[in-house]
Chain A
């Protein structure tokens, strides 16, 4: 297939799930089976078209499509452009494929949904996936804002969808307040950029910003970064994330954590690397700080949780922090590691949330203190949870090992010793938190028997097994995945000029980037062993002591009041803008 033909297919991966989402409530009036089938076909079709473009794009060529064929005139793009670079395509593919698995799982777990509910659920689900794919492929600032809002609206619906627990409403309210604040920040930022340069296309903005970045540009960058950081769940914009994940059912958690968060990360990476460039503002230092604070705070809060899903939600904050640290390293190893970890996080966090969801589904219990001994009665779920935890802890040959090693490598190359040590510390705490959870829920002996609720269905097992297989495959085939998928993605991010010229020309090559990776590096293996040993001791100690004072103080900061969380977010927005403008 020729490149223009391939490029003209680019809107379809977004359009198909959108169409599927719109028709789902109508189809649900006819038949429930039909709704499920059409939704799955829509996501599969979207993934198939993305896969069609994959050989060309991962072969090192960015392809662009101009909506309505409004092709650029003298380097000016008037319409909206969609550009598939390896990074965007990778995220879009992950969203479509993991979204399909999650949809299969949900419709199996929530088999008892009524027709109207099923239609509404399938609609919101596909809208969210379409928004993520759109955000990953777009090369237009205001279009990015629109996808942000589409994702936000469908996430409000999904967060408040299951009303059996009133806390779902409470969490939806906090999500609404924080996301609305974030959308104002993004909106004003995008408007300021347009008013400054008369352009919305990433390539045009890149050229306009290449010479000099003025004060309004910096303020716009700060506002947009803060807005997208809210979507990604970075501290201090994270207030909504644990609450929403506590209240929603497992598959919705997996969707939010694994897929929706990546909108924020993708937008941050694009703005920082491909639009603004890293040289003219202290943005990498800012991202490093945000990342490390998120990684540490998320990990500590995860260690202290009693609710299984809330624990995993805080761990999401921590993992997104690690991803941002990788981007902030700014060198090939770090950026490739961050992209790799983003995809890995989608796989293992979806797996963990589905396992947690299965436990809740089966036993009706949510808090770790009431669980125990579940490994005997639910061996597959226990195995899935342990596999996911080992992936996050970075045990070879699972996927987390490869991405975390690359991020460590990136930090060490630039002699960023303190960030490196803090990242390691957050990993130790994360591993301890997940180990503690696995022990309390699955392996600890428990006296009385459970009141079993629902049975596990075949669709749920399929979901767990396929996500687990992803974790193993992306780890075992690490060097291959790195060379074929992750290195091109990092190359596209680190060669903004090539990306820009490709977006304006309709297609163009990006340079080949070689990211060396040694699977059996003794230093890295030793650090993994040390991490696991310290984490085991930490988990053992933490099970036996009273909650330490710093942890209690951190918990007290999470007051649960929407006003307080809004205040943290506004302070964060102001701080980000101030740091970028003044430093």
Chain B
């Protein structure tokens, strides 16, 4: 059931957002953002789903299907899956930068509490 995917994506998004909005621990905020990111992947993959479809590979079609029927017919959307690959790569880079910034903040301020790292305000 594809609906479950969407519900799971929304649930993940909400859990991640809850963490970002309410947790003051910066590591937990990064985890929340990672959860939200995972939910966008799940959402994209679910958008690419077609009922009863196969993988969009035209060589060596599975038994009972010809290349021609795949071209005209029922395959999962490869473009949305590509989006996910792109976003996964970007997401890894962003998380790395995120965590290194948090590490440097902890070294300077000796705290993980985002509420105590707010010299800039007003």
Interface residues of A (CB under 8 A from B): 142, 146, 149, 152-153, 156-157, 160, 163, 166-167, 169-173, 176-177, 180-181, 183-184, 187-188, 190-192, 194-195, 200, 242-243, 246-247, 304, 555-556, 558-563, 566-567, 570
Whether B87 sits at the interface, judged by CB under 8 Å, is: yes
Whether B70 sits at the interface, judged by CB under 8 Å, is: no
Contact B118–A173 (Cβ < 8 Å): no
- Enumerate the 9 nearest inter-chain pairs by beta-carbon distance, A residue then B residue, closest first: A560-B121, A560-B118, A555-B122, A166-B108, A243-B120, A195-B47, A562-B114, A169-B105, A149-B90
Chain A residues whose CB sits within 8 angstroms of the CB of B22 once the complex forms: 563
In the assembly, what is the distance between CA of A242 and CA of B122, in Å? 9
Closest to B16 in A: A184
Contact A173–B101 (Cβ < 8 Å): yes
Interface residues of B (CB under 8 A from A): 17, 20-24, 26, 29, 33, 36-37, 40, 43-44, 47-48, 77, 79-80, 83, 86-87, 90, 93-94, 97-98, 101-102, 104-105, 108-109, 114-115, 117-122
Secondary structure at chain B's binding surface: helix, strand, loop or mixed?
A: helix
In the assembly, what is the distance between CA of A189 and CA of B121, in Å? 31
Contact B21–A187 (Cβ < 8 Å): no
Closest to A157 in B: B97
In the assembly, what is the distance between CA of A173 and CA of B29, in Å? 10
Given contacts A153-B93, A191-B47, contact A561 B115 (CB under 8 A): yes
Chain B residues whose CB sits within 8 angstroms of the CB of A176 once the complex forms: 94, 97-98, 101
Contact A563–B93 (Cβ < 8 Å): no
In the assembly, what is the distance between CA of A561 and CA of B36, in Å? 20
Partner of A172, one of B43, B77, B94, B101: B101
In the assembly, what is the distance between CA of A184 and CA of B20, in Å? 14
Chain A residues whose CB sits within 8 angstroms of the CB of B104 once the complex forms: 160, 163, 169
Chain B residues whose CB sits within 8 angstroms of the CB of A188 once the complex forms: 40, 43
Closest to B36 in A: A184
Closest to A566 in B: B20
In the assembly, what is the distance between CA of A194 and CA of B90, in Å? 20
Contact A169–B120 (Cβ < 8 Å): no
Given contacts A153-B94, A191-B80, contact A558 B122 (CB under 8 A): yes
Least distance between A141 CB and chain B CB atoms (Å): 10
Least distance between B81 CB and chain A CB atoms (Å): 11
Least distance between A33 CB and chain B CB atoms (Å): 30
Given contacts A142-B86, A153-B93, A160-B101, contact A561 B114 (CB under 8 A): yes
Given contacts A157-B97, A167-B119, contact A173 B114 (CB under 8 A): yes
Contact B119–A566 (Cβ < 8 Å): no
A-B contact pairs, 23 of them (CB 8 A): A149-B94, A153-B90, A156-B94, A166-B108, A169-B108, A172-B101, A173-B105, A176-B97, A177-B20, A177-B29, A181-B33, A184-B37, A184-B40, A187-B40, A187-B83, A191-B43, A559-B118, A560-B119, A560-B122, A561-B118, A562-B26, A563-B21, A563-B114
Chain B residues whose CB sits within 8 angstroms of the CB of A556 once the complex forms: 122
Given contacts A173-B101, A180-B33, contact A146 B20 (CB under 8 A): no
Contact A562–B121 (Cβ < 8 Å): no
In the assembly, what is the distance between CA of A192 and CA of B24, in Å? 32
Partner of A146, one of B47, B80, B86: B86
In the assembly, what is the distance between CA of A157 and CA of B69, in Å? 49
Chain B residues whose CB sits within 8 angstroms of the CB of A149 once the complex forms: 90, 94
In the assembly, what is the distance between CA of A172 and CA of B97, in Å? 10
Contact B80–A567 (Cβ < 8 Å): no
Least distance between A54 CB and chain B CB atoms (Å): 32
In the assembly, what is the distance between CA of A573 and CA of B48, in Å? 25
Closest to A163 in B: B104
Chain A residues whose CB sits within 8 angstroms of the CB of B33 once the complex forms: 177, 180-181
Chain A residues whose CB sits within 8 angstroms of the CB of B43 once the complex forms: 188, 191
Chain A residues whose CB sits within 8 angstroms of the CB of B109 once the complex forms: 166
In the assembly, what is the distance between CA of A181 and CA of B105, in Å? 21
Closest to B105 in A: A169
Least distance between A204 CB and chain B CB atoms (Å): 13
Contact B94–A570 (Cβ < 8 Å): no
Closest to A150 in B: B90
In the assembly, what is the distance between CA of A500 and CA of B21, in Å? 41
